[in-house]
């Protein structure tokens, strides 16, 4: 075995050298994160295959004890150092467009995984709290001593060194030079700057804090005899109180909806690029559970002919935020007024106050994003049946329901959905992300046909295109 491992190491060193030199620009282009749809690279079947093979290789080689330690302390199991996972990819072949898992910006997904870990997520929260990515953007490469003097308030240099070195070496957030003990930004840490358009820093603030407390109750919540979720236990709520009703009265509710809205913005280029929205331009499109309205705003901005509406829970924080955001522009006492999405106000029919468990307003096209994963099968079936009843009243040839959610796969690239599934379980009994098989079964039971599943660049979710099954 030693001889084979020696040959393997020699081959890996050769590949790493080539990827760092000859194919460096190709690799950077494949991992680009861009707000502009046209700048997104084509999906690469070979890139995804390489990632999966690297993951399998690590699974074979990593000692069991290391996997146990990773599981206990929160480092993502089998996640290699950044150069290994982002550059150990055979780019000697062409980059064809295909329908495999997306060639997502790997560092982005790596960052997302950290937000729901333990040791690494708390270290990451600390780094973002003290705006380390911003400081490195402003000043370039710095030592922990220099960084500690620049933070507000000043931090202890030794402690800062420990946290940043963990992030750099275990999960590839920041670059670290052990020779002079300095840090610099890399593509992953740059995404966490407060002025980056994706606003991933909001996720790093929310999940290692509010959800960290909730997860302290996870082991009790999965007991067969425990009627409450981890969230209900944490906030001493009744087992019958739904997650979003509970959320609306928590102090971090607005922060939660702002974070989810930021996720929509960060992944919007892929959502806009990889679905034929022109097919529903005549709409109108109703975004069910549309949160603060950020996704609908992005959709309307990109499709000038499209009109839309939102359905949100009456009296919820999200309902108030959406109403404020879409308020028409005007002037009051010499000052400009209007919500931050006022530019599309004339194309928003309504911000409906309602309950999708009771009734859905009739529209020919619906989107529902990151919502069904909050509910078990019985509740999800009720939601889908209510949407189907409503769409029949306003049905057009282009009528459809577009579900924007994760599709679980047992693969390296499927990990974000698996993490999300556990988070859903902490919020709602039966909450989960679903496999393609589970999605198709759920849709069949509620008389929807899965017309297609669209994989999206730089996105964790997919778009499931559903059409009402004929009578």
**pTM for this structure?**
0.78
Cα–Cα dist 412/83, whole Å: 17
Decide: 307 and 387 in contact? Cβ < 8 Å.
no
Query: Closest Cα to residue 237, out of 432, 426, 433?
Result: 426
pLDDT per position as a tens digit, 133-184: 999 999 999 999 999 999 999 999 999 999 999 888 877 788 999 999 999 9
Cβ-based neighbours of 255, under 8 Å, separated by 6 or more: 202, 205, 206, 210
Q: Is residue 108 pLDDT above 80, yes or no? A: no
pLDDT per position as a tens digit, 331-365: 445 566 788 999 999 999 999 999 999 999 999 99
CATH number at residue 384: 3.40.50.150
Predicted pLDDT at 336: 60
196 is catalytic: no
User: Is there a single domain that holds both residue 48 and residue 173?
Assistant: yes
User: Is there a single domain that holds both residue 287 and residue 173?
Assistant: no
User: Is there a single domain that holds both residue 315 and residue 181?
Assistant: no
Q: How confident is the model at residue 412 (pLDDT cuts 50, 70, 90)?
A: low
Domains held by the chain: number:
2
Range of the domain at 48: 2-203
Q: Is 119 helix (H, G, I), strand (E, B) or coil?
A: helix
pLDDT per position as a tens digit, 417-452: 888 898 899 999 999 999 999 999 999 999 999 999
Listed residues 179, 203, 227: the one ending a domain: 203
Mean predicted lDDT score pLDDT of the chain:
84
Which is catalytic among the residues 129, 373, 451, 454? Answer: 373
Bridge pairing between strands 308-313 and 285-288? parallel
Q: Provide the total of helices (H) and of strands (E) in the chain, helices listed first.
A: 22, 14
User: Is there a single domain that holds both residue 280 and residue 407?
Assistant: yes
Q: Which residues are bridge partners to 404 per DSSP? A: 369, 463
User: Is there a single domain that holds both residue 334 and residue 443?
Assistant: yes
Domain for residue 223, yes or no?
no
- Residue 379 host element (H or E): helix 377-393
Domain for residue 42, yes or no?
yes
Query: Closest Cα to residue 186, out of 251, 121, 297, 107?
Result: 107
User: Is there a single domain that holds both residue 259 and residue 330?
Assistant: yes
- Considering only residues 263 and 93, tell me which one the structure prediction assigns the higher pLDDT: 263
Query: Closest Cα to residue 222, out of 426, 378, 431?
Result: 426
Q: Is 216 helix (H, G, I), strand (E, B) or coil?
A: helix
Predicted pLDDT at 440: 97
CATH number at residue 64: 1.10.10.10
Predicted pLDDT at 19: 87
User: How many residues make up the chain in this entry?
Assistant: 471
User: Is there a single domain that holds both residue 416 and residue 333?
Assistant: yes
Cα–Cα dist 187/242, whole Å: 38
pLDDT per position as a tens digit, 290-345: 989 999 999 999 999 999 999 998 888 889 999 999 998 764 455 667 889 999 99
Query: Closest Cα to residue 461, out of 385, 398, 367, 382?
Result: 367
Query: Closest Cα to residue 125, out of 136, 138, 111, 137?
Result: 111
Domain for residue 432, yes or no?
yes
Listed residues 140, 168, 203: the one ending a domain: 203
């Amino acid at each position: 075995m030693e001889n084979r491992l020696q040959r393997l190491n020699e081959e890996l060193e050769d590949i790493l050298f080539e990827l760092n030199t000859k194919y460096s620009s190709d690799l950077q282009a494949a991992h680009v994160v861009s707000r502009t749809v046209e700048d997104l690279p084509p999906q690469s079947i070979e890139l995804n295959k390489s990632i999966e093979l690297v993951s399998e290789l690590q699974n074979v080689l990593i000692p069991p004890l290391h996997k146990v330690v990773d599981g206990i302390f929160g480092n993502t199991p089998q996640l290699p150092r950044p150069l290994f996972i982002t550059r150990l990819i055979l780019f000697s072949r062409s980059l064809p467009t295909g329908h495999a898992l997306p060639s997502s910006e790997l560092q982005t997904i790596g960052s997302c995984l950290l937000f729901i870990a333990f040791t690494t997520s708390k270290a990451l929260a600390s780094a973002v709290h003290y705006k380390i990515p911003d400081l490195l953007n402003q000043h370039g490469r710095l030592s922990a001593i220099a960084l500690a003097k620049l933070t507000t308030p000043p931090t202890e240099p030794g402690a800062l060194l420990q946290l940043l070195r963990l992030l750099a070496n275990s999960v590839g957030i920041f670059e670290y030079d052990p020779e002079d003990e300095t840090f610099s930004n890399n593509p992953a840490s740059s995404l966490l700057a407060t002025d980056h358009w994706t606003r991933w820093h909001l996720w790093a603030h929310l999940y290692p804090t509010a959800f960290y407390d909730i997860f302290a109750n996870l082991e009790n919540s999965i007991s067969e005899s425990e009627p409450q979720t981890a969230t209900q236990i944490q906030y001493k709520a009744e087992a019958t109180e739904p997650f979003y009703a509970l959320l609306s009265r928590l102090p971090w509710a607005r922060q939660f909806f702002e974070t989810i809205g930021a996720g929509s913005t960060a992944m919007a280029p892929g959502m806009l690029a990889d679905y034929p929205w022109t097919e529903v331009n005549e709409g109108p499109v109703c975004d069910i559970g549309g949160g603060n309205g950020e996704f609908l705003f992005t959709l309307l901005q990109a499709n000038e002919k499209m009109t839309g509406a939102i359905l949100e829970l009456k009296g919820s924080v999200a309902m108030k935020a959406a109403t404020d955001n879409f308020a028409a522009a005007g002037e009051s006492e010499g000052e400009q007024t209007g919500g931050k999405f006022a530019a599309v106000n004339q194309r928003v029919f309504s911000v409906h106050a309602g309950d999708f468990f009771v009734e859905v307003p009739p529209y020919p096209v619906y989107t529902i994003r990151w919502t069904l994963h909050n509910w078990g099968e019985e509740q999800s079936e009720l939601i889908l049946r209510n949407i189907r009843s409503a769409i029949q009243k306003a049905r057009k040839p282009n009528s459809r329901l577009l579900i924007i959610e994760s599709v679980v796969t047992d693969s390296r690239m499927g990990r974000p959905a698996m993490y999300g599934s556990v988070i859903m379980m902490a919020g709602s009994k039966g909450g989960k992300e679903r496999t393609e098989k589970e999605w198709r079964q759920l849709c069949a039971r509620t008389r929807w046909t899965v017309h297609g599943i669209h994989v999206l660049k730089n996105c964790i979710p997919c778009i499931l295109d559903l059409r009402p099954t004929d009578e």
